[in-house]
Structure 1
Amino acid sequence: MAERIGLREMKRRRTREAISEAAIALFAAEGYDRVPVARIAAAAQVSKPTLFAYFPSKEDLVLHRIADHEDEAARVVRARPAGTAPLAALRAHFLDALDRRDPVTGLNDSPEVLEYQRLLYETPALAARLPAYLARGEKALAEALAEAGAPAGPARTAAAQITAVQRVLGEDTSARMLAGEPADAAAPEARRRAEEAFDLLEGGLAALFTTG
């Protein structure tokens, strides 16, 4: 039974990814507003009801890749090693993501990632949905910081600051990639700016936590 459930879940994930990849390829080639959902379903070889079972809206076909990272910061805080302060764990995670060229950091110049970034930021219907994802991630982080020992009010303020810093770092680095700068060339400056930003955060937020 466990094996069947595992295979079923793998099939669901493959179908979901195939639908999303078909959608993003069509949107990039022809424009988001010009591609009807029926064409996406046909390209992915699924029915429209099946498509909507995986993605409730047209925007979700693109934005699910961001949604998958929505509570990432909260998960990092909750999974940090004993004795590690929340902000130290978030710093280490972000720097590691830069080293791995995680697209979330903006430091990725692969054609597929750049295509996705252009689609995301140049399509008003998609860009308009981004604040909601950030707000949910911020709320989750605030809850994790409160669990780590910060008072509820300051935890919300800290989460807002951390979320804003990571967003700005990602957007600025992504803009450099979209302007044609290679990721390897941009990496030292991206890391320097990240260290600088977390130093600033640490100076103001360290007093919230008396223990790791």
Structure 2
Amino acid sequence: MSENPTGLRERKRQRTYRTISEAAVALFLEKGFAAVSVTEIAEAAQVSKPTLFRYFPAKEDMALYRFADHEDEAARVVAARTEGTAPLDALEAHFLTGLEARDPVTGLCDAPEVLAFHRLLYGTPSLVARLHSYTARSEDALAGELAKAAPAGADPGAGAKLTARLAAGQIVTVQRVLATENWRRISEGADAESLYPPSRRDARKAFALLRSGLTPYA
């Protein structure tokens, strides 16, 4: 049986995204973000400039493409939690698992290529600013799942949506602060192995603070 054309096209599209992004990041790391032109990226990725812009509207998006898969990660964790597991418990367990695996998203990763990318990211104001749009979409997705997870007797209608949005904002901010703090310590010379125990304690403390204020989801 022949392969589904739609599935084939989607895989080809995703490969093009990755090809452009990887070519762009390699150039950014080599020359600096501001010094690289769109023309150079198109040539390195072996695509035309119109094709490049169909996939990425801005240079910043090429650098941040690797964050795209994580936009709805918190929402997926809440949606996939086992019956009887509170959203905050599922999110804390997921973050702790990421720390143990040295997932770059947690900031607790000292692999040279990850350090180089983080230096590029946090050293480029336009990339930091663009990252906020990814964070906003992550909050929106998480808020949608938290609204579904609201316990019986919670505020109805608009009240429930506001509660979910406020909770999502706090949760995403806590995860971002934890990751940024881990990256800061590593950038100052700490290694991921020795930093793991205190970063785990920090994460547990942070989620404990969330529970004290977000009781509907604890």
With normalisation by structure 1, the TM-score equals 0.91
What is the Cα deviation at residue 48 of structure 1?
1.3
Within the alignment, does 1:142 sit opposite 2:151 as a pair?
no
Match of 1:53 in 2: 54
Match of 2:209 in 1: 200
Partner Cα separation in structure 1 for residue 102 and residue 95 of structure 2: 10
Partner Cα separation in structure 2 for residue 6 and residue 153 of structure 1: 38
Matched to 1:201, the amino acid is L
Match of 2:96 in 1: 95
Partner Cα separation in structure 2 for residue 131 and residue 9 of structure 1: 27
What is the Cα deviation at residue 176 of structure 1?
1.5
Match of 1:111 in 2: 112
What is the Cα deviation at residue 5 of structure 1?
4.0
Within the alignment, does 1:13 sit opposite 2:22 as a pair?
no
Partner Cα separation in structure 1 for residue 136 and residue 68 of structure 2: 11
What is the Cα deviation at residue 191 of structure 1?
0.7
Match of 1:159 in 2: 168
Which stretch shows the higher mean deviation, 21-30 or 44-53?
44-53
What is the Cα deviation at residue 4 of structure 1?
4.5
Gaps of 5+ in 1: none
With normalisation by structure 2, the TM-score equals 0.89
Partner Cα separation in structure 2 for residue 133 and residue 17 of structure 1: 18
Partner Cα separation in structure 2 for residue 179 and residue 14 of structure 1: 35
Match of 2:198 in 1: 189
Within the alignment, does 1:174 sit opposite 2:175 as a pair?
no
Deviations 1:75-115 (A, max 9, x none): 11111111111111101111111111111100111111111
Partner Cα separation in structure 2 for residue 14 and residue 139 of structure 1: 27
Identity %: 58
Match of 1:78 in 2: 79
Partner Cα separation in structure 2 for residue 165 and residue 190 of structure 1: 13
Which stretch shows the higher mean deviation, 166-175 or 64-73?
64-73
What is the Cα deviation at residue 12 of structure 1?
2.7
What is the Cα deviation at residue 46 of structure 1?
1.6
What is the Cα deviation at residue 2 of structure 1?
3.4
- Give structure 1 regions of 4+ aligned residues with deviation exceeding 4 angstroms: none
Partner Cα separation in structure 2 for residue 174 and residue 73 of structure 1: 20
Look up the SS of the partner of 2:64 in the other structure: helix
What is the Cα deviation at residue 71 of structure 1?
1.5
Matched to 1:97, the amino acid is G
Partner Cα separation in structure 2 for residue 156 and residue 75 of structure 1: 16
Let me know the Cα RMSD of the aligned residues: 1.7
